[in-house]
Chain A
Amino acid sequence: MNDSITFKKRTIMIRNYFKIALRNLLHNKGYTAIKILGLAVGIMCCILIMLFVSSEWSFDKFHSNADRIYRVWQDEKYEDQNFVNTITPIIMGPTLEANIPEVEGMCRILRVNPTVTYTQKDFTDQALMVDTTFFKLFDFKLLEGNRANPFPQINTVILSKTTAKKYFGNASALGKNLEMQLGNEKEQFIVTGIIEDAPEPSSIQYNMLISYANVGKLFSEGLQKSWFNVFGETYVMLREGILPEQLYPKFPDMMKQALGENYEPGGFEVYLQPITEIHLDNNLPQGLQPISNPKYSYILATIGILILLVACANFVILAIGHSSSRAREVGVRKVMGAERHQLIYQFMGEAFIVTCASMILGIGFSLALLKPFNSIINRELAFPLNISFVIFCLLLVLIIAFISGFYPAIFLSKFNPVVVLKGKLSSKKGSGFLRQGLVIGQFAASIAMIICTIVIGQQIDYFKNKDLGYNKEQIIVVSTNLNRIEGAVLAERYRTELLKHPEVSEATVSLYSFAESPWITLGFTNEMKAYRSFQYNSVDANFIEAMDIEVKEGRAFNEQITSDVTNAAVVNEAFVELFGLKDPIGKKLPGPFQQEIIGVVKDFNFQSLHTPVSPLLMTMKPDSVFRKTENIGMAFAPQPRISVRMEAGGLSNNIKVLEEAWKQVAPNQDFVNTFLDASIEAQYKAEARTSTIVKIASGLSIFIATMGLFGLVTLILSRRKKEIGIRKVLGAKVISIIKLISMDFALLILIASIIAFPLAWWFMNDWLQEFAYKVDIKWWVFVLASVAAIVIALITISVQTVKTALSNPVNSLRTE
């Protein structure tokens, strides 16, 4: 009974608050618009970033057994180095399954590049070779086919929806044949299933699935049994309730048995990584799919929160700045019997309404900008209309309403009616302090973001313009799409054909071009039992000269000298340093290799500038080198590639020339080409993305802060109108009045700069650590950023001040 009465009273009060709040907001449309717009932009940033971050954190969680699926990784230790890998030997999975009873299931995943013949043309497609347990472990949706027996025969293939459409259009693909070449010959594969495309947040992505039974077509018996060659990922599913740590003690015995005489305690350790941690764990090297640096989630989240805080600060600044006009109302209400908490509710209610309006607008903004945002972050995020999103939005409203409403409510409800009703509310120093603090905070955030924008921009320019030690201009790479032996023949024919064209200035054949990185990783254990690894490429005699690589000692390969083909090696400076070679020219290569070093080239950046130049070995023929190596790692298929340097000229014409020539030598084969500068640029995609985001964020932040400043200056001016009027009557010039108002703000922004500098420096210094080659952070960047902020602020202030100062003083003096 009593409760229902108080409840009714409450609702009456709340209705009243809302009414008043709404009228107040409408009455001050300008300030309300600034508050709402600022918050809406902040909310938009938060929502978009939340979508991204939650997608990052939801990777691989859609598998119903996600908590029991692990990816196997290994840690091989040598004297002075260890090699951590998430790509494992083929034998790893079966060994685990046979020795560890707690392993309920195992599935190996190997990425292969079959040549698909389709409408009489050859395409290189990508397929995953997987064990038949694939659908037992993972939840991928098999649209047609049999989950329990997905590959009834060895030559069967399951196509993703997209791939099926690509090859068979809208017709049903099930039961059809697809001609593919995995190993040395073309074979017919029967389509036995159609699988839904992998969802975006999945660490396993596929175009098609082929049974693991085909592995023999690619790798010899020896390689399939080898523990020192790694080829694909291995996933295991543990029995319910088993933790990987419980199994670790069993692994050494298993490895001892598996390695036999090669076993050394601790020399080859096996670990399990939860599948849900794959995407964001950059302590382990990436496997088949790229992983994310969790840093980017943090950077984005920080940016989102900063912008939201800047917007909240706007709210507080304007609410307090506006307090003089609210003070009288507070006084009257108190005299009418309002208690302080009731007034606090009232002001909180206003904040709540503003926040709700901002939320609606913010959701609208995010819907409108989701597409551009997706293209910046290279994702396909969708708006989730689920409960947790609704809860997120509600929570956000409550938090924002609290942050931005609480202080103004406390502040405004404090007024003493006797003082305010007498009409002598002095602009109190206390609130000025907080307001100034908030303005400083806003500008500090903005200035820091401007600094970051500039530094990131500089680093990206540096990526673009740094001398890489070779000439990357005007180069188009054409891939033969064929294996080493066949490809080499075709490449040579193509090169000969190309050189007939005047548009072509150089053409050179190599196993890997500058568009692929890394090249081949080779490794061997030296006589000191230390493991040595370096990069390798097989190149033709023109490569070094055609690419303008500087020869430091000795000479490059020479076509005229026949022994060069099999017996000569060219290395880079890093290679010389790694092996501590003195006077390397004429010496035999270190390790098991027979070739003689004929030249040393200056280090050139064949890898991205994230890493220092690795030791590099180049020979003309790869066979003998491969034969002598224990460990070969390839991230890209070894297909001879032709790098063509074009004479300056029209792009489309250049391509046409290359394509025509290709048709001459390989009429049945797809023409696959890459622009070198585009693929180099692609190496810095993550950085370019960060740059765009920080650029937009600093723009938004400055925009919101400036809007707030505009509102604040308007308020201050309206309060100081009379003072300004009197000053003018006394003979003050407009400029001196502008100075009067702006000096305070200039000082605030200076203080903001001082706060922003170390923060931005720290942030950028940390970010730059990712790169082996980086710019120095220059002092003038800081100056530039704060000058920019001051200029923007002064323009804002001056526009408003001039308007007031130019108005007739008599008008403002009369309004008393």
Chain B
Amino acid sequence: MLLELKNIYKWVNSGSRRIFLLKDINLEVKEGEFMSIMGPSGSGKSTLLNVIGMLDHFNEGTYNFLNEPVHELKEKHRANLYKEYIGFVFQAYHLIDELTVYENIETPLLYKNVKSSERKALVADMLDRFNIVGKKDLFPQQLSGGQQQLVGIARALISKPKLILADEPTGNLNSKQSEEIMELFKDLNNEGVTIIQATHSEMNASYGSRTIHLLDGMRNRTN
């Protein structure tokens, strides 16, 4: 079992009212799964991904990641956990504008204190794999959206995560580009990387092995 959410609640207080962002979420994800989260805008997809990615807190419930109880871990330990095992891919790519393609991909390795020679090899592999060797010295603004997202994915993969969390990874791309990205995810998944993506697209969801539906922060079981 890669991760397991039990009775997860997340809320914010607005005045005297309590607004639930996540309500009683129960979810198990096994290693090697490719899961899609769907639901209308505002249903809590991003919130759920952030909780899974340990970027955001939840208020109630238990969350075990690789059999470690995340809710009981210290902040620092939790951060180490997600740095080690989780890669993020964003709808808006979120590359660092001042860094080249090469440097963007390299950044997570720097924070993991990987040796220089090793870093070079890893980044070179990654560039090779995504066919962007020729673009390595360009800055993000000089790339198309699809290329930027490729770099985003390469960056997420560089530290060899077990789990990739992708929040509408193709939201800003045209259908051709989307297809390429989804094919890539599928390949990765076949190599054993677990993927959880939030998406509005049935088409994208169809690449996955499983889809869950959210509505108002709750799993919509009618679907």
Contacts and interface: CB of A to CB of B under 8 A. Distances in A.
Contacts of B111: 333, 336-339, 342
A16 B88 contact: no
B107 A9 contact: no
A802 interface: no
A333 B107 contact: yes
Nearest to B158: A336
Nearest to A23: B98
Contacts of A24: 98
Contacts of B103: 19
A9 B112 CA distance: 10
Contacts of A421: 90, 92, 94
A337 B112 contact: yes
A329 B104 CA distance: 11
B174 interface: no
Interface in B28-59: 46, 50, 55-56
Interface in B45-98: 46, 50, 55-56, 79, 83, 88, 90, 92, 94-98
A329 B83 contact: no
A20 B94 contact: no
Interface string B121-140: 00000000000000000000
B27 interface: no
A20 B98 contact: yes
A806 interface: no
Given A24-B98, A27-B98, A421-B90, A335 B112 contact: no
Given A9-B113, A20-B99, A418-B50, A339 B94 contact: no
Contact of B46 (A23, A337, A422): A422
A333 B55 CA distance: 12
Contacts of B94: 328, 331-332, 335, 421
Contacts of A615: none
Interface residues of B, number: 25
Interface string A315-356: 000000000000011011101111100100000000000000
A183 interface: no
A24 B96 CA distance: 11
A423 interface: yes
A16 B107 CA distance: 9
A12 B111 CA distance: 10
A13 interface: yes
Residue from B50, B56, B107 with most neighbouring chain A CB atoms (10 Å): B107
Contacts of A335: 55, 88, 94
B108 interface: yes
A176 B96 CA distance: 81
B50 A329 contact: no
B29 to A, nearest CB: 20
Nearest to B165: A335
A225 to B, nearest CB: 84
A23 B96 CA distance: 11
Given A20-B98, A423-B92, A418 B110 contact: no
B155 interface: yes
B16 interface: no
A622 interface: no
Contacts of A523: none
A332 B96 contact: yes
Nearest to B79: A339
A328 B155 CA distance: 16
Contact of B55 (A13, A328, A342, A418): A418
A12 B98 contact: no
Contacts of A332: 94-96
A257 B55 CA distance: 91
Nearest to A331: B94
A16 B95 CA distance: 16
Interface string B180-195: 0000000000000000
A12 B96 CA distance: 19
B13 interface: no
Contacts of A422: 46
Contact of B107 (A331, A336, A417, A418): A336
Main secondary structure of the interface of A (DSSP, over half): helix
Nearest to B51: A418
Contacts of B55: 335, 417-418
Contact of A12 (B92, B99, B108, B116): B116
B80 to A, nearest CB: 9
A329 B96 CA distance: 6
Contact of B83 (A16, A337, A418): A337
Contacts of B116: 12
Interface centre among B96, B112, B116 (most CB of A within 10 A): B96
A337 B96 contact: no
- Residue among B97, B107, B110, B116 with max Cβ neighbours from chain A (10 Å): B110
A337 B50 contact: no
A509 B103 CA distance: 88
Chain B CB within 10 A, most for which of A9, A19, A329, A335: A335
A422 B79 CA distance: 20
A678 B65 CA distance: 88
A19 to B, nearest CB: 8
A339 B92 CA distance: 22
A27 B96 CA distance: 13
Contacts of B99: 20, 23
A10 to B, nearest CB: 10
Contacts of B108: 336-337
Nearest to A24: B98
Contacts of A417: 55
A723 to B, nearest CB: 22
Nearest to A17: B110
A346 to B, nearest CB: 11
Nearest to A342: B111
A19 B99 CA distance: 9
B160 to A, nearest CB: 13
A23 B112 CA distance: 23
Nearest to B119: A12
A392 to B, nearest CB: 33
B162 to A, nearest CB: 15
A328 B99 CA distance: 13
A467 B50 CA distance: 82
Contacts of A329: 96-98
Contacts of B107: 333, 336
Interface of A: 9, 12-13, 16, 19-20, 23-24, 27, 328-329, 331-333, 335-339, 342, 417-418, 421-423
17 contacts: A20-B96, A20-B98, A23-B98, A23-B99, A27-B98, A328-B94, A332-B96, A333-B111, A335-B55, A335-B88, A336-B107, A336-B155, A337-B83, A339-B79, A339-B111, A421-B90, A421-B92
Closest CB pairs A-B (n = 8): A337-B111, A337-B83, A23-B98, A336-B108, A332-B94, A9-B113, A418-B56, A418-B55
Interface of B: 46, 50, 55-56, 79, 83, 88, 90, 92, 94-99, 103, 107-108, 110-113, 116, 155, 159
Given A16-B110, A332-B96, A335-B55, 14 more contacts: A9-B113, A13-B110, A20-B99, A23-B99, A27-B98, A329-B97, A333-B96, A333-B107, A335-B88, A335-B94, A336-B108, A337-B83, A337-B111, A418-B56
